[in-house]
Each structure stands twice: as structure tokens, then as C-alpha cells.
């Protein structure tokens, strides 16, 4: 599948030319396949970098809580099913900016080492147990072109165009202003709580290290990748779950790429796709 580049900066992968229709993808994701799908691992390079820099940290941890799917910002969230190199995975994402866009992590749509693109994308909004409010397949995926070659988690974000509009009344918006020392809600479907069967969240205060935003003590594990970090207004995204790491002394924290002017350029790029 050949991407449509934007001056070498961004790439849009058109999924409509594949041999699978939206109905084919829904039929692919049987209840058995969904249960057997494994959580997408957090961004691997980000984990390695964090461990080398923070081996001495030991901070208190915060256990996630179940999300109320009837309230913002959780009503925008969902579980993302996809297949990569023949393995079925799950991640997280959120309806974003428009009713037909989903924000997630780049490593949930493209392997962060090989660059192989995933397939069979199915986003289930407000997934709980074996049910969801609505589900969508992907039409187009846009992200930083060749981001995986740089091995830098600052590009670990992607935006997907859906094949239909969500009924969400208020998609998440975003801010490129610094969220440093502000309180956020991070959400997703981690394997380490509820087995990934329901959305969980933590609240934390944003710190900064390794040129990305971090939440000290956050315990959202694999499967939460791509879930948004939202300010206390419950509608403004300032980050997403990219990686999580455990330090040598038992401390944990989560990392997010910064939503800066480059992120905004990607949003504008997606808004102008046809």
C-alpha cells in the first residue's frame, strides 16, 4: 500500500483500496477473535529511553478507576482492534475534532520498528464487555511519514478518518499550549485492570522529561496505548498514552508526545484530505 505524502512530512494511507469492505472487517472480528486479541505493547523505544534516564525514581502509583461511559471525556473513547503481521491486537483511541476522526498512537496503526502497516481496523466506541455504542472501520490513516525510522516517540500519534460519522455530540478538541503542572485524565483499555474489558482512567499532574509529557505513578498498561490525556474541562486533549515504564526501584510513569505545532500541522493535513 503506497502512502500519499505531503512534502515528505506526513503520509496518508488510503484503506479503501484493500480487498476488505467494512462489513468484511466486522465479520472478521468475531467475539472469539476479540477475546483472543492481545494488547498492543507501548512504544518500545520510548520505554528503553525512559528506563535509562530514570532508573533511580521511586514514586507512588495510582490505580486506575472504571470510566463512566455516559460522561465526557469518556464518551469519546473506544477500543481499537487491528491486525499487524498476522497478530490481532487491541489499543485505544478517541473521537477527535470531528465526528469522523479518531486520535490514537502511531504504533497502534504502524509497527514502530518495521514500519509495517496494520489492517482490519475496527474502532468500538464506549466498548464495555462485549458491547459498544457504535463501531467504525477506517477509511484513511494519517501520521508522520517514516516516523518509525527516527525512533522518537515525539511522533507517536496518528489520526484516522472513519467510514462514517459518530453520534458523539462533542468530539475532543486539542491544545498546543503547555499542560505542564496541569491536571489531566488519561484513559484507555489496559490489560492490567479488568482484562481490557472496560475503559479505565487515572488522574494525574503533567510533568516533563525526555522532551515529552509524563504522568508519574500512572499504571495504565498495554492496551491503553492511544488513549487521550484530557484537561479538567473534559474536552481538551493535550496528550495520549505512548509508553509506560517501570524504573529499577519500582516506580512507574507514562509518557506522551507533545501536542505542538507539528501536531497541529497533522490535524490541518487530515482536515484537508479528500
User: Cα–Cα distance between 218 and 233 in angstroms, integer?
Assistant: 20
- Indicate if the pLDDT at residue 249 is higher than 70: no
Give residue 191's domain range: 45-67+173-256
249 and 131 in one domain? no
**Considering only CA atoms, which of 83, 109, 79, 76 is closest in space to residue 24?**
83
209 and 233 in one domain? yes
Q: How many CA atoms lie within 13 A of 74 on its CB side?
A: 21
pLDDT band at 233 (very low <50, low <70, confident <90, very high): very high
**Can you give the pLDDT at residue 228?**
98
User: Cα–Cα distance between 143 and 270 in angstroms, integer?
Assistant: 9
Q: Is 71 exposed, middle or buried (0-12, 13-18, 19+ CB in 10 A)?
A: exposed
**Can you give the pLDDT at residue 48?**
47
Task: List pLDDT tens digits, range 137-185.
Answer: 999 999 999 888 887 889 999 999 999 999 999 999 999 999 999 999 9
112 and 34 in one domain? yes
**Considering only CA atoms, which of 227, 226, 161 is closest in space to residue 22?**
161
95 and 61 in one domain? no
DSSP three-state, residue 160: strand
140 and 61 in one domain? no
**Can you give the pLDDT at residue 126?**
98
Q: How many domains does the chain have?
A: 2
81 and 26 in one domain? yes
- Indicate if the pLDDT at residue 10 is higher than 80: yes
What does DSSP assign to residue 29? Answer: S
Would the pTM of this model clear 0.85, i.e. be above it?
A: yes
Q: What are the residues facing 101 on neighbouring strands? A: 161
CATH number at residue 150: 2.40.10.10
264 and 247 in one domain? no
227 and 200 in one domain? yes
User: Cα–Cα distance between 98 and 95 in angstroms, integer?
Assistant: 7
Task: List pLDDT tens digits, range 13-22.
Answer: 888 656 788 9
**Can you give the pLDDT at residue 216?**
86
Q: Is 182 exposed, middle or buried (0-12, 13-18, 19+ CB in 10 A)?
A: middle
User: Cα–Cα distance between 219 and 72 in angstroms, integer?
Assistant: 21
108 and 51 in one domain? no
167 and 97 in one domain? yes
148 and 247 in one domain? no
**Cα dihedral 138/111/207/203 (nearest 10):** 50
pLDDT band at 274 (very low <50, low <70, confident <90, very high): low
Q: Is 217 exposed, middle or buried (0-12, 13-18, 19+ CB in 10 A)?
A: middle
Of 49-63, 93-107, 136-150, 232-246, minimum mean pLDDT range: 49-63
99 and 29 in one domain? yes
User: Cα–Cα distance between 161 and 271 in angstroms, integer?
Assistant: 9
Amino acid at each position: 500500500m503506497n502512502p500519499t505524502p505531503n512534502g515528505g512530512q506526513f503520509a496518508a494511507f488510503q484503506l479503501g483500496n484493500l480487498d476488505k469492505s467494512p462489513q468484511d472487517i466486522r465479520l472478521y472480528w468475531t467475539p472469539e477473535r476479540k477475546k483472543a486479541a492481545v494488547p498492543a505493547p507501548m512504544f518500545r523505544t520510548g520505554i528503553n529511553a525512559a528506563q535509562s534516564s530514570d532508573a533511580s525514581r521511586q514514586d507512588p502509583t495510582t490505580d486506575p478507576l472504571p470510566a463512566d461511559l455516559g460522561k465526557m471525556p469518556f464518551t469519546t473513547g473506544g477500543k481499537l482492534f487491528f491486525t499487524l503481521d498476522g497478530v490481532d491486537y487491541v489499543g485505544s483511541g478517541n473521537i477527535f475534532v470531528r465526528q469522523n476522526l479518531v486520535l490514537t498512537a502511531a504504533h497502534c496503526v504502524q509497527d514502530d520498528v518495521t514500519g509495517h502497516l496494520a489492517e482490519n481496523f475496527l474502532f468500538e466506541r464506549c466498548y464495555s464487555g462485549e458491547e459498544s455504542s457504535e463501531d467504525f472501520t477506517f477509511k484513511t490513516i494519517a501520521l508522520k511519514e517514516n516516523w518509525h525510522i527516527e525512533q522518537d516517540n515525539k511522533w507517536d500519534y496518528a489520526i484516522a478518518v472513519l467510514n462514517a460519522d459518530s453520534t458523539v455530540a462533542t468530539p475532543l478538541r486539542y491544545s498546543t499550549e503547555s499542560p505542564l503542572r496541569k491536571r489531566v485524565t488519561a484513559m484507555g483499555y489496559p490489560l492490567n485492570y479488568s482484562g481490557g474489558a472496560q475503559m479505565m482512567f487515572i488522574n494525574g499532574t503533567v510533568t516533563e522529561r525526555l522532551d515529552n509529557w509524563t504522568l508519574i505513578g500512572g499504571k495504565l498498561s498495554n492496551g491503553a496505548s492511544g488513549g487521550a490525556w484530557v484537561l479538567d474541562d473534559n474536552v481538551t486533549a493535550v496528550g495520549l498514552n505512548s509508553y509506560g515504564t517501570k524504573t529499577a526501584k519500582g516506580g512507574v510513569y507514562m509518557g506522551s508526545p507533545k501536542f505542538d505545532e507539528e501536531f497541529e500541522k497533522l490535524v490541518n493535513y487530515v482536515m484537508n484530505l479528500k
